[in-house]
Amino acid sequence: MKLRYAACGMLAALALTACGSGTPTEESAPPAPTKTAAAKKSGKVHVVYGEVTKNQDLVPIKEEWEQDKGLEAVADLITGILTLPTDITVEGKECGEENAFWQPDTKTLTLCYEVQPWMEDTFAQSMDEKQAKEKASNAVMGIVLHELGHATVSLYNLPITGKEEDAVDQLATVLLAKDGDETAEMALDFGEFWQILASQSDLEDLDFADEHSTDDQRAYNVMCWVLGSNPDKFTDVLVGSKEDGLLPESRAERCPDEFAQIEKAWMKLLGPHFAG
Ligand SMILES: [Zn+2]
Number of domains in the chain: 2
Cα 150 to middle of ligand 1, angstroms: 7
Cα 242 to middle of ligand 1, angstroms: 27
DSSP E strand stretches across the chain: 45-49, 88-93, 100-103, 108-112
Separation between Cα atoms, residue 228 and residue 222, nearest integer Å: 10
pLDDT of residue 276: 76
Cα 166 to middle of ligand 1, angstroms: 8
- Which residue range forms the structural domain that includes residue 42? 38-113
Task: For residue 25, give the DSSP letter.
Answer: -
Q: State pTM to two decimals.
A: 0.88
Cα 31 to middle of ligand 1, angstroms: 37
Q: Are residues 262 and 141 in the same domain?
A: yes
Q: Show which of 93, 113, 133 is a domain's final residue.
A: 113
Q: Are residues 176 and 77 in the same domain?
A: no
Q: Are residues 67 and 128 in the same domain?
A: no
Q: Are residues 87 and 171 in the same domain?
A: no
Separation between Cα atoms, residue 102 and residue 107, nearest integer Å: 7
Q: Which residues pair with 100 in a beta bridge?
A: 111
Q: Are residues 164 and 230 in the same domain?
A: yes
Q: Show which of 113, 136, 167 is a domain's final residue.
A: 113
Q: Are residues 137 and 244 in the same domain?
A: yes
Specify if 6 maps to a domain.
Answer: no
Whether 119 and 139 have beta carbons less than 8 Å apart is answered as yes
Cα 24 to middle of ligand 1, angstroms: 35
Q: Are residues 101 and 186 in the same domain?
A: no
pLDDT of residue 11: 52
Cα 243 to middle of ligand 1, angstroms: 29
Separation between Cα atoms, residue 188 and residue 135, nearest integer Å: 9
Q: Show which of 113, 136, 164 is a domain's final residue.
A: 113
Task: For residue 272, give the DSSP letter.
Answer: G
Q: Are residues 100 and 192 in the same domain?
A: no
Question: Over its length of 276 residues, how does the chain's per-residue pLDDT go in tens digits?
Answer: 555 555 554 554 444 343 433 333 333 444 444 445 456 789 999 999 999 999 999 999 999 999 999 999 999 999 999 999 999 999 999 999 999 999 999 999 999 999 999 999 999 998 999 999 999 999 999 999 999 999 999 999 999 999 999 999 999 999 999 888 889 999 999 999 999 999 998 999 999 999 999 999 999 999 999 999 999 999 999 999 999 999 999 999 999 999 999 999 999 999 999 997
